[in-house]
Amino acid sequence: MINLKPHEFLTAWSQDEFSRRPLAVGRMRLADGRFEFSRFWNGTEESRRFNPIESLPETPHAIALMTDSLPDSWGRSILARYEQACARRDERQPHELTETEVLTTIADSERMGAMRFSPEQQPESFVGTSPTMLPRKSELEAYAELTAAFEQKRLLSAATLEPLVRAASALGGSRPKIGFVDGSGAQWIAKLPSIYDTRNMGAWEYAMTRLAMRAGIEVAPFELIDGTIFATRRFDRSPRGRRHYFSTRALLAADRNHEPRSYLEILMIIEKVCRDKVPEVEQLYRRVAFKMAISDGDDHLRNHGFLLSESGWHLAPAFDINPSPSIEHLCLTWDEHCKDYDLEGLLGAAPFWGIAVERAREIVADVRRAVSGWREEAAEAGLSRAEIEEMACAIRC
Ligand SMILES: Nc1ncnc2c1ncn2[C@@H]1O[C@H](COP(=O)(O)OP(=O)(O)OP(=O)(O)O)[C@@H](O)[C@H]1O
Ligand SMILES: [Mg+2]
């Protein structure tokens, strides 16, 4: 781990598939346990291209854009256990990791989006780089065993945990997952079964993602491996390099994933940063209708985001599409107050979204038609009749 002293700075760089070279965009250091930006380079053509901050409704502090460069609970739990294992090995007391340690320990190659970091004194060396390769698909089963041992809180050595630190600690979300590469070298994320699962989460995510695709929702290429592992190709990587990605949590400068917010705020982001707004607004509306139809109430702010492509900022492909029978409403409101699973109500709200009622009806009809095939999709994913019927309470079409 790099041990930066509180007064030492990191340089934040933007380097995506279109950058001729990395562009220094910020200078940051830890203050009172939190990062602060001491400077942000604005105004160059390159920084205007990637930096959505200037056009946002309420300009969040630039530091909010670092949210996605840091892991969520899964990655953080790996790093915490790794620190304990290192402390045992080195015969010292473990300590709680600082945000700088988290930022600098996670693998640079796995970091979300196209931000990179270097110590200010060594601008040529990005933190978190490592010569070791990411796992291959054929190794996923072994990693599933390792993550199960991890979840069971078995005593694992630092050396055993190192591959997990490398492949998994940068990723967002709370479920066990790791990054891997396919035969062509493309990066994927594998969501692994958890010992706490009460159903086959991978198979359900696969079935629901197939339905979403049928309902006209854009998703990244995905597959179901060994009947239980849901894998998705990373949309923030291309054969040419990285792509900038910011979650709506980052863009709205929210402190928590589950902060109570509204889809209308995501519409404001679209309004400010997307060029061709109508298809993006309709796509978001379609996603909300779909989430209502499958009771996907885990639609928090880090489960939506925006991606920078050659044609500018767009909604990122949808991900984490899961039925949640135990959650009774959406996380985000779809008008000023309401977050109910209510397709008729959503139709009534179409004018607030700037969508003509006739068009809204078409979108909701597409969603209903696609979702009506849920039993077949679930069976295709290998789910049993009993598992399917148990889910019936969550699906409305
Ligand atoms: N295809 C993809 N390409 C790039 N990044 C992705 C992709 N799918 C997911 N992600 C990123 O990985 C993170 C974790 O994925 P996901 O939300 O599916 O996991 P999760 O553990 O189920 O999350 P949660 O804690 O919300 O239940 C997302 O927040 C997103 O940043
Ligand atoms: Mg998620």
The strand order across the sheet containing 23-31 reads 34-40, 23-31, 10-14, 115-119
Reported as a single tens digit per residue, the pLDDT across 218-253 is: 999 999 999 999 999 999 999 999 999 999 999 988
CB 23 within 8 A of CB 44: yes
Q: φ and ψ at 34, to 5 degrees?
A: -120, 155
Q: The dihedral of CA 142, 231, 324, 73: what is its sign?
A: positive
CB 112 within 8 A of CB 170: yes
Ordered alpha helix ranges (H), the chain: 45-50, 73-90, 99-105, 140-151, 158-168, 201-214, 248-251, 263-273, 277-293, 343-353, 357-371, 374-380, 385-391
Coil vs helix vs strand at 78: helix
Regions in the chain scoring below 70 on pLDDT = 1-7, 32-34, 38-43, 46-47, 53-62
CA nearest neighbour of 172 among 59, 298, 302: 302
CA of 156 to the centre of ligand 1 (A): 26
Three-state SS string over 200-245 comes to: CHHHHHHHHHHHHHHCCCCECCEEEECCCEEEEECCCEECCEECCE
Kindly list the distances between the CA atom of residue 32 and the CA atoms of 7, 98, 318, in Å, as whole numbers in the listed order.
Answer: 11, 10, 35
Q: Is 298 in the pocket of ligand 1 (CB under 6 A)?
A: yes
d(CA 111, CA 344): 40
Kindly list the distances between the CA atom of residue 294 and the CA atoms of 211, 215, 258, 283, in Å, as whole numbers in the listed order.
Answer: 10, 12, 19, 17
Coil vs helix vs strand at 322: coil
Q: Is 67 in the pocket of ligand 1 (CB under 6 A)?
A: no
Residue where the block lists tokens 């340690």? 101
Q: What is the pLDDT of residue 329?
A: 96
Ligand 1 atom 20: the closest Cα is on which residue? 173
Q: Is 320 in the pocket of ligand 1 (CB under 6 A)?
A: yes
User: Amino acid identity, residue 82?
Assistant: Y
Ligand 1 atom 1: the closest Cα is on which residue? 234
CB 295 within 8 A of CB 288: no
Give the mutation target among 243, 320, 324 for probing the ligand 1 site: most ligand atoms within 8 A of CB.
Answer: 320
d(CA 18, CA 241): 8
Give the mutation target among 319, 322, 324, 330 for probing the ligand 1 site: most ligand atoms within 8 A of CB.
Answer: 319
Q: What is the pLDDT of residue 305?
A: 97
For the entire predicted model, the pTM comes to 0.95
Kindly list the distances between the CA atom of residue 185 and the CA atoms of 16, 23, 238, 240, 382, in Å, as whole numbers in the listed order.
Answer: 17, 25, 10, 12, 28
Q: What is the pLDDT of residue 98?
A: 87
d(CA 60, CA 121): 28
Q: What is the pLDDT of residue 123?
A: 79
Reported as a single tens digit per residue, the pLDDT across 25-38 is: 888 877 766 677 76
321 C-beta neighbours (distance < 10 Å), count? 27
Ligand 1 atom 23: the closest Cα is on which residue? 173
d(CA 240, CA 129): 18
Ligand 1 atom 12: the closest Cα is on which residue? 172
Task: Tell me the ligand closest to 320's alpha carbon.
Answer: 1
Kindly list the distances between the CA atom of residue 30 and the CA atoms of 8, 36, 138, 169, 223, in Å, as whole numbers in the listed order.
Answer: 8, 6, 40, 20, 40
